[in-house]
Structure 1
Amino acid sequence: MTTPDVRTVLGDGDLTVVGQLVQASNATLVCDAALGGSTVRCVYKPVRGERPLWDFPDGTLAGREVASYLVCEALGWDVIPTTLLRDGPFGTGMVQRWIDTCEPDPAHLDLVDICPVAAVPDGYLPVLRARDMDGSAVVLVHADDTRLYRMAVLDVVLNNADRKGGHVLDGADGRVYGVDHGICLHSHDKLRTVLWGWAGRPLDPTLLTDLDKLARRLDDEFGDVLAEHITDPEIEALRDRILALLDDPVMPHPYGDRRIPWPAF
């Protein structure tokens, strides 16, 4: 017998709850999905555990997580872990592959971090200045890393309203992952992210090629697949954001009062 792949185990395996992420805003359970002798650790967010938001329709966050993954997969960028919508112990919800992360190194900054204004290391980009609890001047920074850059472009495409530093995972497999995409893909501009370090820089031409292909796919069956999770106006807004980047291939500058999510981590 062949070993089932991760997607099959996540979609068809028996879900057993093994823990809960108590600091999460919405009900977030850690589960094991088991099928055919294979087990995949995952995060399960049941729709019934979603906290209502004033600007996003109730019960849509799980679908937005899945739609965000589908967009990322269609681009071929491998930023978001495998994500599905399925039934579980507490009803329909989002299931996403768990990511093991690197052990923190006290001698080095994380991919997104805070440091003294005068101590921004090489290879890091400043985002904004602030003061810590002691009144000392600090700066929010992130790594000038191509893996993180792709995530920043994806956030623009997805209109991500909540790219916190804690939603950036430094995977033990050497890849960088983004998680928590429940408040993405709104039809109105909601972009809030800690990844503003590339603002004003031209986009990588290879990413533009991927974006052009995605824009074309929205006119075929892929658009129908997305329509199972988000509305037609939201799909059209997604298309508009992609076309805007293709027309003016520069990373946008932040504007408005809410340039980053709060809290930032």
Structure 2
Amino acid sequence: MAADPPTALDLLERGELAVHGRITTASNGVLYCTVTLDGRTAPCVYKPVAGERPLWDYPDGTLAGRELASYLVSAATGWGLIPPTVLREGPHGPGTVQLWVEPDESAEDLIDLQDPAGPEPGWLPIVRADVGGGRTALLVHREDERLRRLAVLDAVLNNSDRKGGHWISAVDGRLYGIDHGVTFAEPAKLRTLLWGWAGQPLPDGAVEVLTGLAEALEGALGESLRPHLTPVELAAARARVGELRRTGKHPLPAPDWPSIPWPPV
């Protein structure tokens, strides 16, 4: 259903939510649910605002809006990198409801630890990691075009938490990013594992997508983001898109901000 956003969004917006349990590995309140409408049922994730943990660098109660804003930007790119997401009332108050994406357990790993002399062919280096006992390994990610598009999207969103567990290789063969609550800060806060392309030219077609995104941010997309971002944050998002178009390259890590999320996976 993730490949059919209009149907998924209608179901998520108007369907009846039933809570089945809490996802305990999440740092904020995340509930596994089903949503039902007109005989159609789908699994989903509900993140009530009331379950958000306060953060020192983001205003309280804004993570849900940032999740929705991230989806709207992703949808505008046409890349479909974030599952359909809405902001609505639920059993525990307002929050985001996002379509559950079923992972493909047989999919190849997209991140690995390899010999520090690496990386192996088809992999790109992220950072050297201390694995204990005085030993190091090279943390790497695959040279995968789906990941590369996600890296471009993260640069636009200023995503501060692209851990290895924050993408899903789905059974439909697509890659989806999840957990976009800490995005759209005004200062540079990109923190990700997808640094393998840092400083390299953007992938084919990315500049054209960013040009369309820039136009959308000046129009209907920008208006749809206003309820969820401050004017300064929205202006910073426009500036990031403009900078990516100007340079035509993946960004480098900010010199005064940690570049790798913790824990990384």
Name stretches of at least 5 consecutive residues in structure 1 with no aligned partner.
none
The Cα shift of 1:112 comes to: 2.0
**8 Å Cα contact 2:42/2:99 also seen in 1:** yes
Amino acid in structure 1 at the alignment position of 2:201? P
1:214-256 per-residue CA deviation (whole Å, 9 max, x = no partner) reads 1112222221111021111111000000000111111112233
1:43-83 per-residue CA deviation (whole Å, 9 max, x = no partner) reads 10000000000000000000000000000101111000001
Aligned residues: 259
Match of 2:127 in 1: 128
Match of 2:192 in 1: 193
Aligned mates of 1:22, 1:133 — CA distance in 2 = 28
**8 Å Cα contact 2:189/2:254 also seen in 1:** no
Name stretches of at least 5 consecutive residues in structure 2 with no aligned partner.
1-5
1:120-173 per-residue CA deviation (whole Å, 9 max, x = no partner) reads 432111111011133321111111000110000000000000000000111111
Alignment of 1:181-260 (within 5 A): 181-256=180-255, 258-260=258-260
Counterpart pick for 1:38 among 34, 37, 40 = 40
Alignment of 1:55-94 (within 5 A): 55-94=57-96
Of 251-260 and 80-89, the range deviating more from structure 2? 251-260
Identity of counterpart residues, as a percentage? 49
Aligned mates of 1:66, 1:169 — CA distance in 2 = 18
Match of 1:151 in 2: 150
Amino acid in structure 2 at the alignment position of 1:24? A
**8 Å Cα contact 1:112/1:140 also seen in 2:** yes
Counterpart pick for 1:100 among 99, 102, 108 = 102
Aligned mates of 1:20, 1:126 — CA distance in 2 = 35
Match of 2:113 in 1: 114
**8 Å Cα contact 2:202/2:249 also seen in 1:** yes
TM-score (norm 2): 0.94
2:83 match: secondary structure: coil
CA-based RMSD: 1.4
Match of 1:23 in 2: 25
1:16 match: secondary structure: strand
Match of 1:264 in 2: 264
Aligned mates of 1:240, 1:67 — CA distance in 2 = 16
1:157-201 per-residue CA deviation (whole Å, 9 max, x = no partner) reads 000000000001111111111000000011111110000000111
The Cα shift of 1:205 comes to: 4.2
1:166 match: secondary structure: coil
Amino acid in structure 2 at the alignment position of 1:91? G
1:96 match: secondary structure: strand
The Cα shift of 1:104 comes to: 4.9
